Structure 1
Amino acid sequence: MSSKYKDKDVGALLSFNGRWVSWAHTGAAYAAFLSALVVGISLHYQKIVQNEWFGYPQEWFPSVSATIGDRFPERSFFMFFIAITSGPRFALVGLWYLLTAKPGHSLPKTVGYFGVFRTITCGGWTFVTSTDNHDWHDIFMISYLVATIPWMFGCITLSPANATAVKYRKYVAGAFFGAIVPLVYFFIQHKVHRVPGAYTTYAFFEWSLVLFDVAFDAVTALDFDTLEIVVKDTRGTSKGAPRSAIEVTKVDKEKLKAAANAALSTRFAWPDVFDAAADIYHGFAFWSVLTSLGLTVWYFPLWHMGISGYEAFVMSTLSPVILAIRPLRNLIVKYQRFFHLLSVAGLVAYKVDDPVYRLFTIGFGVSMQCLAWVATFYSDAANEAKIETRVLSFIFGLLMSSIAKFAWHTNNPIWPIMHAENGGWNGTGLVLAILAALRFTRKRPVLGGDVSRNDKSSSALYALSIGGLLFALHSLLSDTSTMVLWVWEGYPVRGPLSNTHAYYTIFAMTGGAFLGVTTPGLVSSWSAFGIASVGAAVLTLYGEWFGFYGATTLSVYLMALAVPLISSASKKSPALTFGLGFLIYNFMVLFHVWVVAYAFVPGGPLVREHTDWIMTVMMLLIGCGVFNLNTAKIPRQAPKYQKRAQTTQRRKYYYGVAGVLNIFFLIAAFIRFPTNDYKPYHAEDRVITAGIWTIHFSLDNDMWSSERRMRDLIKEAELDVIGLLESDLQRIIMGNRDTTQFLAEDLGMYVDYGPGPNKHTWGAALLSKFPIVNSTHHLLPSPVGELAPAIHATLDVYGTLVDVFVFHSGQEEDPEDRRQQSEYLARLMGTSTRPSFLLSYLVTRPLEGNYNTYVSKKSGMHDVDPSDWDRWCEYILFKGLQRIGYARISRSTITDTELQVAKFVVPDSQERTDYLFNVEAEARNHRVQEHEIPEGWRFPALFRGEGVRGHRYHVFDEPRYYGY
């Protein structure tokens, strides 16, 4: 490039190599942080290592925020040097753009924008500290971290042909993102579990992020070595001695040539980005419709209390069998767009109010989804690059579904049980689904065929493995909390939590998909299958963190294997591999239900409580596919560059969209991070208001998700503690949901989910505004009927330890089960010498039969109101507490069971406790009028008369109060 001033008598006043911009930036940035650290440790060591829970010696190293933001003079040192850093920082971003910009390429400009945005937000969180304004500090910090992701990946993608620089960038970026996982883990250990020393470990990872962040930008010194920055006097007004004219930028010819040769791998096109995003969203639509089928089918046997006939819609997935008819197959393959658009009908179902017709609509949508996707897999099977992107769309669609469910507290926002009133985004989701389907099918399809005629692998074995894989993906990975609840064992917390540790599952799924693409032969090896089988066994047999390590191992494997398995199976007969595959999947779904619903289906007792059988069969089915893949000799590594250029070019856009999805997940995780704001309603009166409610799996009478309506009633009834029954929704037929997450986070309550989904019960859960000191889960004896779950928890109530029991008895048809359960629970309650209460579903009449086992000297428990003759199921019992009120609140259309509520005063001394344990029945059940008790002891007046939204005091038409 020649200078425009070469004919003028103009000299260069100053010139220096571009790498000095990088060194200036690195030096100033490190000086800012390290000077603050040295000064802070020297002057205020014990103050800056002190946090909200612990100080020295438990905590002995300060966090970044405590070092740079809280005290003088370290804060001044930091701000002085960080201000100096800003100039080299903007210059670094500008030089990077000039170095990487190419005509017709928009990625350099996009990366440059993120670089400028990052620099501005860095100024935000450094000059507005958490002490100044916590919210704005967090906003700037999160924005900075989010912008770091496209900045780092963009710089790696745009790196000039400098192998050393690319290598260092990958190493440093890998270390940066790798440090985030332990960083979050130890922050949770500090913030939630209050582990001494955890914040010190967190601080080391926080400092490492700072060092890696600056080091990543320091690598530009290797690229800027080819740049020369020159200051010229174009008019000769300078009094300085002119220097020889040097061009502003000098690019090595060989490097320019190498960069031109690498243009294919760095080309960036927005249409390809939109293609990848549309494909993945279309995959999301598939999983949204499929996962809603079991949920809408379940509504009917739930309300019929038995087989309803609508269960036949489970077989809607078998539509690919019609691809066995060649003319129909050719027609469907040729007009894929039509069938993909028809499949969107499953997302229109929310517009149908009648549950029966809504199910019909969902069933049609599922059948079209399965048919259209299988036709697409089959038609693209011969093109390795294209089938890979189709499979990535499919499994990243599952990833997007899991992330969306996490953001919406385990409800998918476009499910047919959602609408605007309960948080649904159905309209938006439908419009995007139509646009995605149009773009997904915009390229002309190619008629498929059995492209592997010489392949010795078996179509039937592929069918078995496809069925096992689909079941595994659906049952275990369609929600981030499913496997967390498999290993949940109660308080104190000894394992992962659904809201704060979901990132393990998301990152495992994302990493698994990358492994499946880059090392298809490795993930389809018998060694990988063996490791995954061990992971499945660990998940099934163990709890807490050890069990969850098995879960993450299995998550990586399932997502990884999906890539080569579906790609290879697509080359076979679609009717056999996917038609039979979906039949196997359906069988596994039913198997998955029967292990807990054995009392309601023919032959159910044969598989009673055998989740271990399910996991064994699932892995054996998947093993059939591994056998096929090894027979077909899948290469252990991807083809050489010349053969995979097109594949690599397509692949990076799907990686990018998956990265964006992970960013959305991190944002949702930050929003959902627990606030620890748990405040009882009437602490000044030492009142505890407790309730029991059978929530019927969080589906209301009209088949809408009922969490928000439940939330409103619990809040308005001012409940401090509530037991929820029929609350285990972590199965395919219930949508793999967890109502307790939304209720606990929205209401500010601790939660114990109770016996997990692998314990084969219908569920019992406890929510409390008081800390749960300890909890144990019990499965009561059930020789004939279904298992009866119970929770025994100890709460810290105003400094007094109070025991609470949550229990769901067996069915009326099994009297021996209920007798044994009553004796077990009476012994359990009798072991407690603390003030206690029971929130239960007993299936007995007052004063008759098993009632006299629950209310007995053995248990020490008393009925909350012995005169209430109108009960059959729900009961509240107590001992060692002053019972002051009892009420029954009608359910409206939320569920089939009312909410029963009791108020107790917690004794403030041992003498008062001893008295309450020994008070006579006549005094204990003495009724008083409302005006005779303090206002803080009274029930809300909101539910008197007609009440609100169908909720009112009923049976007695008003609360009952007691005084003694």
Structure 2
Amino acid sequence: MAAPRYKDKDAGVVLSFGGQWVSWSHTAVAYLAFFSALIVGSALHYRKIVQNEWYGYPDEWFPSVSATIGDRYPERSIFMIFIAITSGPRFALVGLWYLLTAKPGRTLPKAIAISGVVRTLTCGGWTYITSTDDHDWHDILMIAYIVFTIPWTTGCIALSPANAKAIKYRKYLAGGFFGTLVPLVYFFIQHKVHRVAGAYTIYAFFEWSLILLDVAFDAVTALDFDTFEVVIRDVKGASKGANKSSVPAAVLEKEKEKAAAVVFSEGFRSGEALDIAADVYHGFVFWSILTSLGVVVWYFPLWHMGISGFEALIMTTVAPALLAIRPFRSLVVTNQRIVHLLSLAGLVAYLIEDPTFRLFAVGLGVSMTCLGWAATLYSDSVQPARLEMRVLAWVIGLLMSSVAKFAWYTNNPIWPIMHAANGGWNGTGLVLAILAVLRFTRRAPLQGGNPVEAKGGSALLSAFGIGGLFFGLHSLLSDTSTMILWVWDGYPIRGPVSNVHAWYTIAAMTVGVFAGFSRPALVTTWTAYGVGSLGAAILTLNHQWFGYYGALTLAAYLMAISVPLISSASKKSPAVTFGLGFLIYNFVVLFHVWVVAYAFVPGGPLVRERTDWVMLTMMLLIGAGVFDLISQQAKSAHKHAAPRRTTNTNHRKYHLGALGVLNVLFLCASFLRFPTNDYKPYHAEDRVLTAGIWTIHFSLDNDMWSSEYRMRDLIKELEVDVVGLLESDLQRIIMGNRDTTQFLAEDLGMYVDYGPGPNKHTWGAALLSKFPILNSTHHLLPSPVGELAPAIHATLDVYGTAVDVFVFHSGQEEDPEDRRLQSEYLAKLMGSSPRPSILLSYLVTNPLEGNYNTYVSDVSGMHDVDPTDDDRWCEYILFKGLRRTGYARVSRSTITDTELQAAKFVVPASDSDSVSTWTAPKTLRNRRIPEDEVSEGLRFPAMFRGEGVRGHHYHVFDEPRYYNF
């Protein structure tokens, strides 16, 4: 122990030691806790702790941390004893770090100390509550630990004293810790989803690496704590049998000042961090309001079945064109706070019940937010650092929007189609938005009155670039699943899936943002543009992983070029660059809608199914903006005499921190959404398959609320095992770039095939199944005149029997030739399958008439679930090779415009039990029987009898029908 530093040897000093011993003791005991458990566990229960849900030794040969410390006695007890001992040095370490970094008037050291304490408590939570004890709380506490590790790690680096070695070690160890999370997640996916033998062992090595790096990061404090001496004094002399007076307080204060003398000015300002947080959140609000406009506009042509007139409100984005009026521009620039506050009408809209008035509130919000941001960027364009802050806030706000949509299953929690009943956080989002606006606009405009526009470059070319850029960001990057669904082509899975691999899109966007502000000269080159264009071509023309690699390339490029393009546009006339730019954006949005809605819009056939033209247009528009940037760079290179203005880049570390936080939050949400593989049919004991068909009308109910929760409840309560969803493709700007199937599949525990992707120009067909999908193929049926007819042909493993399920949406009534060709195609497709089969469909025909006799024919081999039901026009269920036992029609309430039809089948236990060759007369085959003759497991739920629940009840027949097979 170190000698006491007090001159008075009789001052009652009992014990003193250097502060670094706190760090060393924490490091030693923490490592001892984990590695003693590893050694004892490997010695006593090696084969048991390397065993996982799929494989054991020798495929898996190294145990994970959780299996080592949580599953067996005595290693679990040994670990808990040592980890309890670790808590003392751990709390002491946090306390010493606070004393070392605390300064008068600074709040950051306090915040970091609090995060350190909470982090320590959550560590105790996930180590003492193992996944075996309580899986949910173990996961919650572990995620909380990782989340609080972010401020602790970044705060320690920011507050580090002037010790170059310590700072270097902290950066390396923190980078290693967060970098290890990427392969950790990858190999966990390989184990959990793809069931790769040996993947869990590799995952375990990365998991143990996290422990080593985490403890090592805190061990670096030993290099800083050597300035401290921990002294234990007997102030009353009890240890020597006397009662001595204490050392004067002035001496202790002097020692404290001496210990703190080497504290380095941390260079971190909580006020600046709060500014960046407010800016980014306000950028998130912009994208939330803008992306909600298409959804609320789409509601009206959807229910009018054609042009409604409300589509004109998409032009509210061109409000910046009004800045061409000099007095109006002066008014907006000098009153930005009022304009930005008015933009929050787009968030307040959720309080308005009437869809029409809600649409107008959103339109007001969109016009004000586009106007406000254009004015702010233009006003701040004279100061490079301030302009870069605004641009980064706008761009990172998009990334935050994508993160929030992933966490809320592709819905934005503050959209006006959300409210408390369907998972919305509108009230919380609105309060935060008000606070963000007040912080965002607290600085006076850098240009006021009549700003002077910067010369150089073409405002027209900038407008083209802005139009193409905003369309690309909105249509492809406002949801992480959009481009994944572009490359999806069915089972077996040969590419990315939305709930597992979506972080790759976020990572590519993050890399793009970083490149945009750190390497603008590299981004604004024709080479970079060529790489981005190549990525767009690969995405458009390919599927599976190769197509997704193109998507990631394009995502990185779009985010990277955003920073210089928007910065350049801000320095020119905002009426042209943003007013005209948003007008061009609107035309490309309409173009991208026309390619699929060609049957309902004027001039639609001219651009039918030309997504490639849309992508080409987008890249050419961006190319015009890049040409303007390169031209400006070439001109400025010849003006050597003009001094170059340096940009203060101090804000970039806060923006990098925001990017890091958003990525970690996304990974936490991804962890919570990770598939459980808990897919159980409702009545397996009776070998029952309950199938349903439902046209969900793009997941907007009659009152313009997102309807996923209500759909989920009805499907669950009706005990549907396999359901076909039609009008389910929402991955377009007008539908909010959403995917209802993600929420339904994960919440109900079902496999999902999204069907033909958004680049296949259909209104969508999807399949959800409690049974494994062995194989699926997507079909686009003949449609020479009208809308494309999508179909899914999937083979399911139903209680060990392969059963084919077809999900199909035929063309509209106005195109009889299309529907005839489609009926012939589908009849042959169904007839080609020798397996038991079910058709879940939208046929647009009367029972027993016309094309019905093609679908139900010797060619298809299919039977109608109930030929006596003459009240149908669109939804039909057909089958073959199965024992049909029941059929029901359940009213939709206000969820959609179409009922949910369901049928129950008993799956043959063997081929010899199949009824595919049954030739009994139709009268006998379709004979109905009383419900009391049907076993309990084959009955439909009684809760929908009579008035039912929430507006759902059996109708047409007023009860289910049951059959004798």
Query: What TM-score comes out, normalization by structure 2 length?
Result: 0.93
Change in Cα spacing, 1:454 to 1:310, as seen in structure 2 (3 Å) is closer
| Other-structure match for 2:872 | 871
| Other-structure match for 2:328 | 328
Distance 1:931 1:72 in 2: 54
| Other-structure match for 1:815 | 816
The range that moved more, 35-44 or 709-718, is 35-44
Q: Secondary structure at the match of 1:600?
A: coil
How far 1:167 sits from its partner (Å)?
2.0
Q: Secondary structure at the match of 2:914?
A: helix
Distance 1:424 1:138 in 2: 24
| Other-structure match for 1:532 | 532
| Contact 2:772–2:797 (8 Å) recurs in 1 | yes
How far 1:76 sits from its partner (Å)?
4.3
How far 1:454 sits from its partner (Å)?
4.7
How far 1:906 sits from its partner (Å)?
1.0
Cα-to-partner distance string for 1:591-649 (whole Å, 9 max, x where unaligned):
1111111122222222222222222221222222222223333999xxxxx9878541x
Alignment-mate amino acid for residue 700 of structure 2: L
Cα-to-partner distance string for 1:732-768 (whole Å, 9 max, x where unaligned):
0001111112222222222111111111110001111
| Other-structure match for 1:926 | 927
Alignment-mate amino acid for residue 688 of structure 2: V
Alignment-mate amino acid for residue 885 of structure 1: G
Matches within 5 A, 1:428-827: 428-447=428-447, 453-455=454-456, 457-633=457-633, 646-648=648-650, 650-827=651-828
The range that moved more, 306-315 or 441-450, is 441-450
The range that moved more, 200-209 or 399-408, is 399-408
| Contact 1:330–1:447 (8 Å) recurs in 2 | no
How far 1:362 sits from its partner (Å)?
1.7
How far 1:565 sits from its partner (Å)?
1.8
2:412 counterpart of 1:412: yes
Change in Cα spacing, 1:230 to 1:953, as seen in structure 2 (3 Å) is closer
Alignment-mate amino acid for residue 528 of structure 2: A
Distance 1:46 1:249 in 2: 59
Distance 1:949 1:139 in 2: 33
Distance 1:513 1:283 in 2: 14
| Contact 2:865–2:884 (8 Å) recurs in 1 | yes
| Contact 2:686–2:906 (8 Å) recurs in 1 | yes
How far 1:696 sits from its partner (Å)?
0.9
Alignment-mate amino acid for residue 397 of structure 1: G
Distance 2:631 2:225 in 1: 51
| Other-structure match for 1:212 | 213
The range that moved more, 578-587 or 20-29, is 20-29
How far 1:185 sits from its partner (Å)?
2.1
Change in Cα spacing, 1:433 to 1:143, as seen in structure 2 (3 Å) is closer
2:112 counterpart of 1:105: no
How far 1:11 sits from its partner (Å)?
8.2
How far 1:920 sits from its partner (Å)?
4.1
| Other-structure match for 1:387 | 387
| Other-structure match for 2:53 | 52
Alignment-mate amino acid for residue 388 of structure 1: E
| Other-structure match for 2:277 | 277
How far 1:931 sits from its partner (Å)?
2.3
How far 1:663 sits from its partner (Å)?
4.4
How far 1:252 sits from its partner (Å)?
12
Alignment-mate amino acid for residue 491 of structure 2: Y
Distance 1:126 1:149 in 2: 19
| Other-structure match for 2:244 | none
Distance 2:189 2:661 in 1: 24
| Other-structure match for 1:343 | 343
The range that moved more, 871-880 or 724-733, is 871-880
The range that moved more, 127-136 or 713-722, is 127-136
| Contact 1:322–1:328 (8 Å) recurs in 2 | yes
Change in Cα spacing, 1:138 to 1:297, as seen in structure 2 (3 Å) is closer
| Other-structure match for 1:191 | 192
2:946 counterpart of 1:949: no
| Other-structure match for 1:639 | none
Distance 1:217 1:527 in 2: 44
Alignment-mate amino acid for residue 24 of structure 1: S
Change in Cα spacing, 1:25 to 1:632, as seen in structure 2 (3 Å) is farther
Distance 1:694 1:410 in 2: 20
How far 1:366 sits from its partner (Å)?
1.1
Alignment-mate amino acid for residue 514 of structure 2: F
Distance 2:231 2:335 in 1: 61
| Contact 1:229–1:249 (8 Å) recurs in 2 | no
Change in Cα spacing, 1:7 to 1:958, as seen in structure 2 (3 Å) is closer
Distance 1:335 1:454 in 2: 25
| Contact 1:793–1:804 (8 Å) recurs in 2 | yes
Distance 1:710 1:136 in 2: 29
| Other-structure match for 2:245 | none
Distance 1:450 1:919 in 2: 87
Distance 2:65 2:109 in 1: 32
Distance 2:229 2:563 in 1: 47
Change in Cα spacing, 1:28 to 1:248, as seen in structure 2 (3 Å) is farther
How far 1:577 sits from its partner (Å)?
0.6
Q: Secondary structure at the match of 1:621?
A: helix
How far 1:585 sits from its partner (Å)?
0.5
Cα-to-partner distance string for 1:670-698 (whole Å, 9 max, x where unaligned):
33333333222222222111111111111
Change in Cα spacing, 1:947 to 1:124, as seen in structure 2 (3 Å) is closer
Change in Cα spacing, 1:915 to 1:743, as seen in structure 2 (3 Å) is closer
Change in Cα spacing, 1:124 to 1:702, as seen in structure 2 (3 Å) is closer
Alignment-mate amino acid for residue 895 of structure 2: I
How far 1:248 sits from its partner (Å)?
11
Distance 1:352 1:97 in 2: 49
How far 1:71 sits from its partner (Å)?
2.4
Q: Secondary structure at the match of 2:499?
A: coil
How far 1:50 sits from its partner (Å)?
0.4
How far 1:949 sits from its partner (Å)?
2.8
How far 1:317 sits from its partner (Å)?
0.8
The range that moved more, 407-416 or 293-302, is 407-416
Q: Secondary structure at the match of 2:51?
A: coil
The range that moved more, 502-511 or 104-113, is 502-511
| Contact 1:772–1:795 (8 Å) recurs in 2 | yes
| Contact 1:228–1:247 (8 Å) recurs in 2 | no
| Contact 1:320–1:370 (8 Å) recurs in 2 | yes
Distance 2:396 2:532 in 1: 20
Distance 1:358 1:454 in 2: 41
Distance 2:491 2:150 in 1: 36
The range that moved more, 170-179 or 720-729, is 170-179
Alignment-mate amino acid for residue 513 of structure 1: V
| Contact 1:532–1:553 (8 Å) recurs in 2 | yes
| Other-structure match for 1:243 | none
Distance 2:446 2:758 in 1: 44
Alignment-mate amino acid for residue 571 of structure 1: K
Percent identity of the aligned residues? 73
Q: Secondary structure at the match of 2:131?
A: coil
How far 1:180 sits from its partner (Å)?
0.9
Change in Cα spacing, 1:908 to 1:319, as seen in structure 2 (3 Å) is same
The range that moved more, 535-544 or 882-891, is 535-544
Change in Cα spacing, 1:903 to 1:30, as seen in structure 2 (3 Å) is same
Alignment-mate amino acid for residue 585 of structure 1: Y
Alignment-mate amino acid for residue 87 of structure 1: G
Cα-to-partner distance string for 1:706-725 (whole Å, 9 max, x where unaligned):
22222222222221111000
Q: Secondary structure at the match of 1:789?
A: strand
How far 1:164 sits from its partner (Å)?
2.5
Distance 1:672 1:254 in 2: 48
Query: What TM-score comes out, normalization by structure 1 length?
Result: 0.93
RMSD value over aligned CA atoms?
2.8
Unaligned runs of 5+ in 1: 241-245, 637-641
